[in-house]
Amino acid sequence: MADFPYTPNPATLRRFFEQIQSTGVPSSVTIRYIESIGFKTKNDRYILATLKALKFVDDGGNPTPTWQRYRNKEAAAGVMASAMHVAYSDLFATYPDANRKDNEALRNFFSTHTKVGEAVLNLIVRTFKTLCELADFEKMAPAPVPQPDVREDLQKNVVTPVVAKQQLQSGMTVNINIQLQLQATEDASIYDKFFAAMKKHLFPSE
């Protein structure tokens, strides 16, 4: 079962994230630090778990690059959206538009992915909805799509077997197996010319 962040007072989250943009980056984020910037109730202690779930701080309480990027007010909403996709990856895998789902749909999802009671379940939903108010999912940077490197094999010294078949007039077939040592080069046209020449001489009738 997954653990989802929640706080008994989700409204304080907005104030806390505003503080990130208006105060310096702390060397460590602890309960004591959270209290020192004005969040002194026991309910405010849940903020730390939310920060860890969103990867604003690591397990040791150290601010991450996500914390630093969120300080940029113009980029903050997109940063929050990306962070939420990490913290609620299962939810967004099920509902790509989870940020638009109503409370009942969210409750049904969280109830099947946690073992918490009704009270905590409602807080999980409220916390998620509050974070959505701080996020802009249209500005979230898309994950880079890996592109295949067509030259990957050409950059290596490889032995390339070439098999040519010639049909003789007598009906016999002659198999010619040629192995070539290809040297790595940045110029892919060399390989194109090389194989074109092979085709010309090995398969003159084509």
CB 200, CB 173: distance < 8 Å: no
Helices (H), the chain: 11-22, 31-36, 46-53, 65-70, 76-87, 89-94, 103-113, 118-133, 188-202
Q: What is the pLDDT of residue 186?
A: 59
Q: Residue 15: helix, strand or coil by DSSP?
A: helix
* Nearest C-alpha neighbor of 69 from the set 13, 78, 84: 78
CB 67, CB 25: distance < 8 Å: yes
pTM: 0.67
For the cut 70, the answer to whether the pLDDT of residue 46 exceeds it is yes
Q: How confident is the model at residue 122 (pLDDT cuts 50, 70, 90)?
A: very high
Domain boundaries, the chain: 11-133, 158-202
